[in-house]
Amino acid sequence: MKVSSLSARQILDSRGQWTVEVALTLQNGVRATASVPQGKSTGATEARALPAAMAVRNIKSVIATRIIHKDFLDQAALDEFLVRLDGTKAKSRLGANAILAVSIAFLRATARTKKVPLWKHIRDVYGIWVDPTTTTLHPRLFMNVVNGGLHAGNNLHFQEYLVIPRVRTFAESVDVGTKIYHALGAALARAKGHGAANLGDEGGFAPNFKDDLEPFRMIHAAAKKLKLDKKIDLGIDAAATDIKGMTRARLNNLYKKLIKEYAPLYIEDPFSENDFKNFAAITAANAGAGAGVKSKLWIAGDDLTTTNTDRMALAHAKKSVNAIIIKPNQIGSVTEALNAVRLAREYGWAVVVSHRSGETNDDFIADFAYGVAADGFKLGAPARGERVAKYNRLLEIEEGK
């Protein structure tokens, strides 16, 4: 696959901040674009994203001059070339955002060359085979219905409150999740005033609450009223690295109360990003006999692991988690993100693919989640165009497109 042209420009993300978009054309005339998201709650060991203007300049002046007219055997060859071209561990020379944008555009262009859906091409690159005679594998939907922490201007310590439908298809998941989401919005408006239905960064409701568990009380009440409470699990992204003014002991007590009262399926980043010991303690105390998706409670690393295989190996050695968040922009290339998924599978961890809080309308991450047969997919609330684009793409994939 030879690249014949590569251009880049700045575009706005969902928070009105500049990010990167590229357009790549192969020698066969196939063209593809890609844009990259940005996180607000970021782990210290994530690959480094440069300011968008600098990343665009690097794409035009460095990457384009080195890859145009160069023949790449496959996705891994391109990504390895880009990583070597950067030459730094954190991708701080060219920028992880610059590298990932080019990586995704090349992936999309090669899928179009093969005339296959992007998810199918990802599955081929990853090396997973799914028996077409069996039920189609699809990620469970992790719908963010209440925003807190750095994603909202309210008093909640926890960043995301998640509804996780327990149904057969993605379309059913969307139906169950959106019904609860809209019922919750109406309940919040009645209880707290119309301003309570205002939205946070990821489309979840973002009013002030009495305490950090009140959102669960209201979510459960809304689901029960709809007779959907038996069709869902609950979860949170605590994003504890960013929690201020709460001791580890108080956090522990809050998790114990949460687990006792609501039996959540999922807790992400319950402690700060280097607290492998307390991650291990909560995992050992609550996972039950099963591993990964069979565990009673998934304890997921995000800031702890940052889609980085070195951090993952450390977490595995310390038995800190039984699940992991996969975010391609945390590591900077498609191949490295796929390698992280492979390693997570070796460890028996549940895999949850995730968007970022500063998103674009690019729906690549939906194809990625489906392509690697992720166990879960976080893509925000069913509101705001950049989130809905991912919902609609997964619905399309489920229809065979």
Active site residues: 202, 327
Q: What is the 3-state secondary structure (H, E, C) of the chain?
A: CEEEEEEEEEEECCCCCEEEEEEEEECCCCEEEEECCECCCCCCCCCCCCCHHHHHHHHHHHHHHHHECCECCCHHHHHHHHHHHHCCCCCCCCCHHHHHHHHHHHHHHHHHHHCCCHHHHHHHHHCCCCCCCCCCCCCEEEEEEEECHHHCCCCCCCCEEEEEECCCCHHHHHHHHHHHHHHHHHHHHHHHCHHHHCECCCCCECCCCCCCCHHHHHHHHHHHHCCCHHHEEEEEECCHHHCCCCCHHHHHHHHHHHHHHHCCCEEECCCCCCCHHHHHHHHHHHCCCCCHHHCCCEEEECCCCCCCHHHHHHHHHCCCCCEEEECHHHHCCHHHHHHHHHHHHHHCCEEEEECCCECCCCCHHHHHHHHCCCCEEECCCCCCHHHHHHHHHHHHHHCCC
CA dihedral (210, 215, 216, 217) in degrees, to 10, reads: 60
How far from 139 is each of 190, 293, 367, 396, CA to CA, in Å? Answer: 33, 12, 11, 14
Q: Are 325 and 235 in contact (CB under 8 A)?
A: no
Strand partners, 298: 266
Region label for 292, one of left (φ > 0), alpha (ψ between -120 and 50) or beta (otherwise): left
Contacts of 242 (CB under 8 A, 6+ apart): 41, 149, 150, 159
Q: Which amino acid is at 83?
A: V
Q: How many Å apart are CA 314 and CA 322, to the nearest integer?
A: 13
